[in-house]
Chain A
Amino acid sequence: MKLEELVKVIDARMLQPGRKEMGEIAHVFAGDKMSTLLEKAGPETLLVTSLANTQLACVAELMDCPALCLVDGVDPDPSLLEAAARGSTAVLVCPFDMFETCGRLHRRLYGEGPHRP
């Protein structure tokens, strides 16, 4: 699914556009621990997190992850956006909390039923 479609689903603002030729988002992973984000991030993954520090952009860049979604309408530090720009990682900010954000994304990507990619 295109990132733009997911942006609409979660009413997100795109603070930092990602790479020009953004591919499809096939997986979403939500977490607040850097090690698990690092392990799960990939070239088709959207990372959803309530963290908002520069290291997020570093993890995304190292793992070729195309986009980050920060929840709770957080106002990220400019250094995060700078680092994301360097790694061509898109940064979204979503007004909902983690639970609501994940619920909406899950419904849109996988439908109503229980599903784990």
Chain B
Amino acid sequence: MITSSFPIAGGNFTAAGSASRMLKEQLKRIGVEGQIMRRIMIAAYEAEMNVVIHACKGNLWVRFDNKRFNMEVIDEGPGIADIALALKPGYSTASAEARQLGFGAGMGLPNIKKASDVFEVDSRAEKGTRVRSTIYLKTQTVGEPTDHCLSITSELCNGCFDCLKACPTRAVRVWNQKPRILAALCIGCTACIAACRRGVFGIREPDQKKMPQQSVAEAGQDTLVIPRAFLTQFGLKIPPRLVMAVLRILGFKDIRFSEEWEEELRRTVRRYAAEQDSYPVISPICPAVVNLIESQFPSLIGQIAPFMTPIESAVEAYGLQPVTFVAACPSQYALLTRADLSGRLQITSPAGLSAQILPLITAQTETDRSEQKPIPRPPRTGNHDPTVLEAWGMENVIDILEKTEKGLSGDFRILELSCCVYGCYGTPLFKENPFMAKNRWAASLLGRRRQVSAAPTNSLYLARTGMRLDQDMGKAIEKLARIDELTAGLPGRDCGACGAPTCSSLAEDIVMDRNPGLECVILRGRGES
């Protein structure tokens, strides 16, 4: 993953284009060329010129890996009064000076949109404009996987190999008692975190540079988006209402729950499914399940409802505003970091925010005992739609997706699949039992409904190429044959003692030369090579 930032000076037509030129140099070095380079350059130059023509200053941020190129251009300008009009080809508000130089044809935003796979523009009057563009890079470089968002504390590993068996995409290796993730295969599902009894795996803690020690209010981030489960992690004596109060003391004036967007997505997908002819429609409710489908079930991608995942919709809702997000799992963390090119989001793990509020909670509980009684509330009954299949747990999710591939789930209109029990309540990053956590939330009566919307998306979901054996297809075929040959010679016990989850994974690791000296422990014991 590469992240870069290029400043843009408004009104300077002489220096204009330098950000795009620097970006091009960077892209050339990693082998981007042809049509993809053309599209990126059109989007970058048009966006840069928009800043030069209309704003006093701005910045072009880019982040790309071997799958996607993401660009975000934010300016400090007058903003766009009517975005729909600005997107109309031929409409321009450029100055006479700009027009004299050949700009102001009213094709800037339409050109960026045309060049992009995903295009978004957001603007606030007198505050500025943000243009986002995603362009999919079609080529995948061998051995250069995308980044993953797990932290690994190798010193804690005792080599039990539980993580090897737990990973649904066989992305984990344990070599010399050091776990490693093959990032191109990782879907950010938390299976390894849940499986490890020694806490080797976790979610990455945010960059310290982005988590300054100043107060929330000083940092200008008084909006917080958290999973509801976060409020129920502090036991019986510290109810959600008290945690909310402490978060407010910390400076968060507006506290929102990611489930608000999740519930809106459920409603939106129900409306969407009602207009479809083929079932089931898969709701993109859990980003890790979306990753799983992109990676392991590409034939089902077309069945995913064309909306963003709830956490992405939440990011969209806040536009240019700085917001603090608590990521409940590595896949959410990955989405948030991908969405945040300009650094306006503060992303933290549940543990990170807990560490900030725990001292305050202790002080509060001593003074505020009245808040400790949970209010009982009868469980909801009825209104359950049997054609909406809500399921969780990785084994169940994989089983249902396999059956869907075979056409054995057409009696359900919608599949709402989550990796964790009760969605984010069950993430292993939370310590409280998910069933207790969910009911404690329900008892807290904190759920007031506010208007949110599920953001639509076009062509966002696409098959992940995973780990390609070789850029050259001929060589890839040779390697595949070698892997098959090696696998046939291995015992086939999939014992994991070599550090790879299966014998075929070991064969692939040997052929790809991922770690020198790899061998089958059983064959070595027999004296065979």
The verdict on B403 contacting chain A, using a C-beta distance below 8 Å, is no
By beta carbon, the residue of chain B nearest A33 is B105
A14 in the interface (beta carbon within 8 A): no
Residues of A within 8 A of B41 (CB): 62-63
Residue picked from A35, A49, A61, A63, most chain B C-beta under 10 Å: A35
Instruction: Select which of A36, A56, A61 is within 8 A of B107 by beta carbon.
Output: A36
- Greatest chain B CB density within 10 A among A37, A39, A51 is at A39
Does A54 sit within 8 A of B, measured CB to CB?
yes
Q: How far is the CB of A53 from chain B (nearest CB, A)?
A: 5
Could you name 18 residue pairs across A and B whose Cβ atoms are closer than 8 Å?
A: A32-B102, A33-B102, A33-B103, A33-B105, A34-B103, A35-B108, A35-B111, A36-B105, A38-B42, A42-B38, A49-B102, A53-B101, A53-B102, A55-B16, A55-B103, A58-B20, A59-B45, A62-B21
Give the distance in Å from the alpha carbon of A63 to the alpha carbon of B111 in the complex: 14
A30 to chain B, nearest CB (A): 13
Are A62 and B102 in touch, CB under 8 angstroms?
Answer: no
Closest 7 interchain pairs by CB? A58-B17, A35-B107, A33-B105, A34-B102, A51-B102, A62-B41, A35-B105
Question: In the complex, what distance in Å separates the CA atom of A36 from the CA atom of B42?
Answer: 10
B157 to chain A, nearest CB (A): 48
Interface of B is mostly: helix
**B24 proximity list for chain A (CB < 8 A):** 62
CA–CA, A54 and B21, complex, Å: 14
0 or 1 for each of B96-134: is its CB under 8 Å from A? (1 = yes): 000001110101100100000000000000000000000
Q: Which of B13-37 contact A (CB under 8 A)?
A: 13-14, 16-17, 20-21, 24
Q: How far is the CA of A54 from the CA of B18 in the complex (A)?
A: 12
Please report which residues of chain A, range 16-51, place their CB below 8 angstroms from some CB of chain B when the two chains form the complex: 32-39, 42, 49, 51
With A54-B14, A62-B17 as contacts: A37 and B42 at CB distance below 8 Å: no
Residues of B with Cβ closer than 8 Å to A?
A: 13-14, 16-17, 20-21, 24, 38, 41-42, 45-46, 49, 101-103, 105, 107-108, 111
CB of B490 to closest CB in A, whole Å: 49
Chain A: CB-nearest residue to B99: A33
Q: How far is the CA of A61 from the CA of B108 in the complex (A)?
A: 18
Give the number of residues in A that approach B within 8 Å (Cβ atoms). Answer: 21
| Chain A residues within an 8 Å CB radius of B45 | 38, 58-59, 62
B105 cross-chain contacts in A, Cβ below 8 A = 33-36
Shortest CB–CB separation between residue B102 and chain A, in angstroms?
A: 4
User: Contact mask A45-80 → B, CB, 8 Å, 1/0?
Assistant: 000010101111011011100000000000000010
Contact assessment for A34 and B101 in the assembled complex, using a CB-CB cutoff below 8 Å: yes
Whether B108 lies near A62 (C-beta < 8 A) is no
B42: chain A residues at CB < 8 Å are 38-39, 63
Q: How far is the CA of A79 from the CA of B17 in the complex (A)?
A: 14
Please, how many angstroms separate the alpha-carbon atoms of A58 and B46 in the complex?
12
Q: How far is the CA of A17 from the CA of B436 in the complex (A)?
A: 75
Indicate whether A38 sits within 8 Å of B14 (C-beta atoms), given known contacts A51-B101, A53-B101, A55-B101. Answer: no
Residue of A nearest to B24 (CB): A62
A83 to B523, CA, bound (A): 65
Known contacts A38-B42, A38-B46; decide if A55 and B102 are in contact (CB<8 Å): yes
B516 to chain A, nearest CB (A): 41
CB contact between A79 and one of B14, B49, B108 (< 8 Å): that residue:
B14
The CA of A22 and the CA of B20, in the complex, are separated in Å by: 24
Which residues of B sit under 8 angstroms from A34, Cβ to Cβ?
49, 101-103, 105
Flag if A62 contacts B20 (CB, 8 Å).
Answer: yes
A13 vs B8: C-alpha distance when bound (angstroms): 35
Asked whether B103 lies within 8 Å of A58 as measured between CB atoms, the reply is: no
Roughly how many angstroms separate A37 CA and B101 CA in the complex, as a whole number?
12
Cα(A61)–Cα(B28), bound, Å: 13
A49 to chain B, nearest CB (A): 8
Contact present for A33 and B107 (CB under 8 Å)? yes
Contacts of A79 in B (CB 8 A): 14
Q: With A and B bound together, what is the CA distance between A33 and B102 in angstroms?
A: 5
Contacts A51-B101, A62-B45 known; A38 to B21 CB distance under 8 Å? no
Tell me the complex Cα distance, A79–B105, Å.
Answer: 24
Bound CA span A54–B16, Å: 9
A58 lies within 8 A of B21 (CB): yes
Chain B residue with Cβ nearest A56: B102
Residues of B within 8 A of A32 (CB): 102
- B102 and A37 form a contact (CB under 8 A): yes
**Of A36, A51, A55, most B-chain CB atoms within 10 Å:** A55
A16 to B21, CA, bound (A): 20
Q: Which residues of B contact A56 (CB under 8 A)?
A: 102
**Once the chains bind, are A63 and B102 in contact (CB under 8 Å)?**
no
Q: Is the CB of A63 within 8 A of B38?
A: yes
**How distant is B6 from chain A, measured CB to nearest CB, in Å?**
13
Give, as a whole number of angstroms, the nearest-CB distance from B107 to chain A. 4
